Structure 1
Amino acid sequence: MAHHHHSHAHTDLKGKNLIISIFLNILITVSQVIGGLISGSLSLLSDALHNFSDVLSLIVSYVATILSKKKACTNKTFGYKRAEIIAAFVNAATLIIVAIILIKEAIERFLNPIPIESNLVIWLSLLGIAANGFSVLLLKKHADNNMNMKSAYLHLLTDMLASVAVLIGGLLMKFFQMYWVDPTLTLAIAVYLIFMGYDLLKESTRVLMLFTPSTIHVQNIVEAISKIDPIKNVHHVHIWQLNEDEVHLEAHIDFQKDIKLSEFDIILDKIEEEVYHNFGINHVNIQPEFGKCDAKQIIVQD
């Protein structure tokens, strides 16, 4: 059976990059909270709140990265392979919660506008752009094939964009006294957070709920396996994604004749090759049957 393996060096690099990003974000958060309170800028305080959520999400991602390296044991037969998926789910949920808080604050500021010390806003937003930009570059290469790292990367990317928005707002307030820009930018940041967080929340929920991966069509797999001789019927099919790297298939297979165990092993090899190369399934568990009276539907609620 084909399995994927990731080197420890790759995971260690992910961990180091996450730690650097955590410290950078703590620096930005503290600076922006102080600056936001002094200047009276809501967009700066909202950016600080978002940065604080980044710190929490990066810590969650880091812990999940460490846990995912732990070996399986008798009372944890899958080990901690789902830790990173849970981290992605938590981070996506926090993105949306932070966004809702920002919307509430922005509406209140629209109703009660106040003048803002724009110089401080400009300098602190530049700090946010520089630190978050560096963190984004650190995590980008890990984000393409890891849901946990993608969630951390999205937190940082949206925060960098938020800092750009705050900078533009600071400049408009400094030169044109357009103080309504501050809550407007806060609303825009919040809407973008909801948009980004929802997709990741949906994706991680699918994995946690053991849904069939969206790229896989069960009927196509059943048809492909059924073509292998002497298979009569494929039923009781379960397909789920354990984590980023593992997709599992479990099925009952009804044979047309009473075959030997050695013959079954040859057929099993064919099934594994078929589903791995054509459907990306790398863990297969087949229950062979002959003349057994059970439900023959493809999907059976156990």
Structure 2
Amino acid sequence: MSEHHHHDHGTEQVSDKVLLWTTFVNIGLSVFEFIAGAIAGSVALMADALHNTNDAAALLIAYIARKVSRKGADEKFTFGYRRAELIGAMIQLTALILVGLYLVYEAIRRFFSPEPLEGGWIMAAAGVALFVDVVTAWLLWSMSKGSMNVKAAFLHNLTDAGASVAVLVGGATIYFWGWNWVDPILTLLIAGYILYMSLGMLRTTCRILMEGAPPDLSMEQVQATMMDVPGVEGIHHLHVWELDEHHQALEAHVVVKRSQADHDHELNIRRALKQRLQERHSIQHCTLELEYPGDPCGSSTNNLIEHE
């Protein structure tokens, strides 16, 4: 199920090093922006620093996940270690939402109690941040072609560059025209973006951990696909869930016609079901229990479908 990890052995270790170095670079940038924000008195700069801290954490999680995922399944974790990344993401996103709410509070407070700002420091720090964001995006660009996870990090880094441009422009307005009110407005915009992205990712993470069905999958279409296989008379106890964001699994009880109850027909039905589910719905892992009409079933027969 993880064949996409093996198509580029020559660059695998290089990719790991790139992820690790971009993590260190973003951590360094965050520390620098925190210090510069404190000196300049800019909440927007601190908000951008927190945003970069989140990026560094995301890159570190991606790096650790690549290492952990290579362990594969064992006796204690028979499904493998894929969801370690989800647990890390849950912790990270929860903390980020709290940070976003604090930034909203701090921005509103600055409207009523403005503080002096150093526009020159804000411009300098935002310029450094923009440079680092562009370099990080460049480093991730070649890796993004073979990994959806890294592609998401690459696109996220481009949006960071946009936030740095906004802070840079805000610093210029403060430096040249003394518009200190721009800083809390930028803070609200960055905090709003952080909350919007975090809440959306948190919903996705919770759905996977709760073994919810993939959002773009129609259970009715899945049932129809299975019922179209010759010899299938009914489906019940149908469950579809995500092992992680890239792998889907299905289990079901399949009622087959007793007239076709020999071993070869069972193998053909099972093979046809798995092939169609893979081709039409990208479900890679299927566990199918074949039954015959009238056989006792250990669970209630909810979701039973019969031919008209």
TM-score by length of 1: 0.88
Q: Percent identity?
A: 33
CA 117–3 in structure 1, closer or farther in 2 if over 3 Å, else same:
closer
- Secondary structure class of the residue paired with 2:295: coil
Match of 2:262 among 254, 260, 263: 260
2: CA distance between counterparts of 1:3 and 1:57? Answer: 21
CA 38–227 in structure 1, closer or farther in 2 if over 3 Å, else same:
closer
1: CA distance between counterparts of 2:38 and 2:217? Answer: 51
Task: Please provide the CA RMSD for this pair.
Answer: 2.5
Is contact 2:208–2:245 with CA below 8 Å preserved after alignment? no
Greater CA deviation, 39-48 or 141-150?
Answer: 141-150
Is contact 2:250–2:287 with CA below 8 Å preserved after alignment? yes
Cα distance per residue 1:65-106 (max 9 Å; x no partner):
211221211111111122233344344334322211211111
Match of 1:297 among 286, 302, 305: 302
Match of 1:281 among 259, 280, 283: 283
1: CA distance between counterparts of 2:19 and 2:2? Answer: 27
Corresponding residue for residue 177 of structure 2 = 176
Corresponding residue for residue 166 of structure 2 = 165
Following superposition of structure 1 onto structure 2, how do residues 107-122 of structure 1 map, counting pairs within 5 Å?
107-122=108-123
Corresponding residue for residue 245 of structure 2 = 244
TM-score by length of 2: 0.87
Following superposition of structure 1 onto structure 2, how do residues 115-134 of structure 1 map, counting pairs within 5 Å?
115-134=116-135
Is contact 2:69–2:81 with CA below 8 Å preserved after alignment? yes
1: CA distance between counterparts of 2:204 and 2:12? Answer: 22
1: CA distance between counterparts of 2:229 and 2:267? Answer: 13
2: CA distance between counterparts of 1:142 and 1:93? Answer: 28
Match of 1:272 among 254, 274, 281: 274
Is contact 1:82–1:242 with CA below 8 Å preserved after alignment? yes
- Structure 2 unaligned regions, length at least 5: none
CA 37–136 in structure 1, closer or farther in 2 if over 3 Å, else same:
same
Following superposition of structure 1 onto structure 2, how do residues 21-100 of structure 1 map, counting pairs within 5 Å?
21-100=22-101
Counterpart AA for 1:238 = H
1: CA distance between counterparts of 2:104 and 2:148? Answer: 27
Is contact 1:272–1:284 with CA below 8 Å preserved after alignment? yes
2: CA distance between counterparts of 1:175 and 1:254? Answer: 76
2: CA distance between counterparts of 1:270 and 1:262? Answer: 12
Larger RCO: Structure 1 or Structure 2 (Cα < 8 Å, ≥ 6 residues apart)? 1
Counterpart AA for 2:296 = C
2: CA distance between counterparts of 1:31 and 1:296? Answer: 61
Counterpart AA for 1:274 = R
How much does 1:257 deviate?
A: 0.2
Cα distance per residue 1:259-295 (max 9 Å; x no partner):
1223211111111111111111111111111221333
CA 141–190 in structure 1, closer or farther in 2 if over 3 Å, else same:
farther
Counterpart AA for 1:43 = A
Greater CA deviation, 272-281 or 77-86?
Answer: 77-86
Alignment size in residue pairs? 298
2: CA distance between counterparts of 1:100 and 1:151? Answer: 24
Following superposition of structure 1 onto structure 2, how do residues 181-196 of structure 1 map, counting pairs within 5 Å?
181-196=182-197
Greater CA deviation, 108-117 or 5-14?
Answer: 5-14
- Secondary structure class of the residue paired with 1:288: strand
- Structure 1 unaligned regions, length at least 5: none
1: CA distance between counterparts of 2:221 and 2:273? Answer: 13
